[in-house]
Amino acid sequence: LPEPTVGDASASGAARLPASLEEAVRAWEDSEIALACFGPEVVRNQAAAGRAELAAFSATVTDLERRRHFERG
């Protein structure tokens, strides 16, 4: 791990955390540390779990979407 950031981390040029589950799954799959620590089977299984969560979410109509479509209708 890098040394702790003091002050405004967004101005430090430090790597950012993933902003979405999709980014996190990609980062997990590309992580040499995850592969070395957990092995390829765990990395694959956890990535598949993340993708299943993404698929379930994308198949769901949210309350916000319902409200916005009814407002425009």
The DSSP line for 6-30 is -S-GGGTTPPPPPSSHHHHHHHHHH
pTM exceeding 0.75: no
CA dihedral 30, 36, 39, 44 (to 10 degrees): -10
Distances (CA, A) of 48 to 3, 8, 9, 23, 30: 32, 35, 31, 14, 14
pLDDT tens for residues 50-67?
999 999 999 988 888 888
Share of the chain above pLDDT 70, in %: 99
Confidence class of residue 12 from pLDDT cuts 50, 70 and 90? confident
